[in-house]
Amino acid sequence: MTETFDNTIIEDIVVKLHKFAATQLPNDVSDALKTMYEQETKPTSKAALKTIVDNFTIADETSTPMCQDTGIHIYYVNIGENFPKVIGIEETLRKASVRATKEVPLRPNAVNPIVGGNSGDNTGNYIPFINYDFIPGVDYLEITVFPKGGGSENMCALGMLKPGQGIKGIKKFVIDTIINAGGQPCPPGVVGVGIGGGADIALKLAKKQVMRPIGERHPDPEIAKLEEDLLKAINMTGIGAMGLGGDVSTALDVKIEYAHRHPASLPAAVAYQCWAARRSTARIYPDKRVEYLTHKEE
């Protein structure tokens, strides 16, 4: 195919995705938080959950960012192999980040780690970070905006376990990580677990999992069972919403993915996403039709 796609359309859509992500939780997340508020019996966590529900409700009604930390900008770009040629997608996404920072507005969160200083527009070296995948047999371009907050990111962990520690070792690593984190990553959040592959692969898989819809189970029944068991176990810690003590509100969900591992290694990674589990996705078709998968257009 020689036809090239108009990038200004993509830029406008991505700016809109930023506004959606910052101001409205996807329905699966808001519904899960509301249900949790109803089910929690410990008054301290229940009070925190009430504030969380009030907060995202007002944020939605007033189109205001639901948290002052509007995250570092991460994109997931799935390119349908039959989608027209796109030139300069990276430049387009960087421009969208700069525009969204002004227009939503978003907090500037890109700091130079060597010499200090905030770039002021959410762009910098490798930021926004863009993940690309090619999707065979489809004709659309799918873009996900994934703003990632710092407080929950600080509680992510990688364990290079010994293969002999096995699944039991992984379970222990996950629970230890959650207990160590306590209220710091703003629970109840989504816990992503990546197993195998290598250090980077495990972390990458873990992080990608936190974008899966709440309640959705892995297609492999064995992994699905592990997700359910770890979710139950994490909530048994009693940490609760914001670490205030609660019996059902330490985590919204646990999502697991694995890659085959090297015989000598068993990497296990935990990625944490806070209660403000923000994400927004759009599919763009060759005829410029747009489908928002996570949010409704007004």
Partner 1 sequence: MAEFHFTTPISKEDVQKVKIGDVVYISGTIFTARDEAHERALHLAEKGEKMPIDFEGLAVYHCGPVVRQVGDEWEIVAAGPTTSTRMDLFEDEFIKTFNVNVVIGKGGMGDRTAKAMKEYKAIYTAFVGGAAVVAAKGIKRVKEVHWLDLGTPECLWVLEVDKFGPLIVGIDSNGDSLFKNVALQAQENLGKIGEFLGITF
Q: Return d(Cα 81, Cα 134) in angstroms, integer.
A: 6
DSSP alpha helix (H) spans, the chain: 7-23, 27-39, 43-62, 89-103, 150-153, 166-181, 199-209, 221-236
| Helix (H/G/I), strand (E/B), else coil: 66 | coil
In the complex, what is the shortest distance from the CB of residue 146 to partner 1, in angstroms, rounded to a whole number?
16
**Any contact of residue 14 with partner 1 (CB under 8 A)?**
no
Among 62, 113, 289, 297, binds partner 1 (CB under 8 A): 62
**Any contact of residue 80 with partner 1 (CB under 8 A)?**
no
In the complex, what is the shortest distance from the CB of residue 244 to partner 1, in angstroms, rounded to a whole number?
6
**Which of 102, 104, 146, 108 shows the shortest CA–CA distance to 124?**
108
Task: Give the number of other CB atoms < 10 A from CB of residue 110.
Answer: 20
Whether a cis peptide bond, with omega within 30° of 0, leads into 163 is no
Do the beta carbons of residue 76 and residue 211 sit within 8 Å? yes
Do the beta carbons of residue 251 and residue 186 sit within 8 Å? no
In the complex, what is the shortest distance from the CB of residue 175 to partner 1, in angstroms, rounded to a whole number?
6
**Any contact of residue 183 with partner 1 (CB under 8 A)?**
yes
In the complex, what is the shortest distance from the CB of residue 271 to partner 1, in angstroms, rounded to a whole number?
18
**Any contact of residue 188 with partner 1 (CB under 8 A)?**
no
Of 38 and 229, CB closest to partner 1: 229
Among 86, 233, 259, 290, binds partner 1 (CB under 8 A): 233
Strand (E) or helix (H) holding 195: strand 189-195
What is the x/- site pattern for partner 1, positions 96-125, by CB under 8 A? ---------x-x------------------
**CB contact set of 260 (below 8 Å; sequence gap of 6+):** 196, 197
Helical packing angle, 166-181 and 221-236, nearest 10°: 40
**Any contact of residue 293 with partner 1 (CB under 8 A)?**
no
Among 132, 229, 291, 293, binds partner 1 (CB under 8 A): 229
Per CB under 8 A, the segment of 11-19, 43-51, 120-128, 211-219 that binds partner 1 is 43-51
Per CB under 8 A, the segment of 62-70, 156-164, 257-265, 290-298 that binds partner 1 is 62-70
Q: Return d(Cα 252, Cα 274) in angstroms, integer.
A: 9
Strand (E) or helix (H) holding 257: strand 251-258
Q: Return d(Cα 269, Cα 271) in angstroms, integer.
A: 7
**Any contact of residue 224 with partner 1 (CB under 8 A)?**
no
Per CB under 8 A, the segment of 12-20, 194-202, 240-248, 253-261 that binds partner 1 is 240-248
In the complex, what is the shortest distance from the CB of residue 43 to partner 1, in angstroms, rounded to a whole number?
4
Among 14, 48, 211, 214, binds partner 1 (CB under 8 A): 48
**Any contact of residue 175 with partner 1 (CB under 8 A)?**
yes
100: left (phi over 0), alpha (psi -120 to 50) or beta: alpha
Count of residues that bind partner 1 according to CB under 8 A: 49
| Helix (H/G/I), strand (E/B), else coil: 185 | coil
Per CB under 8 A, the segment of 10-18, 46-54, 124-132, 156-164 that binds partner 1 is 46-54
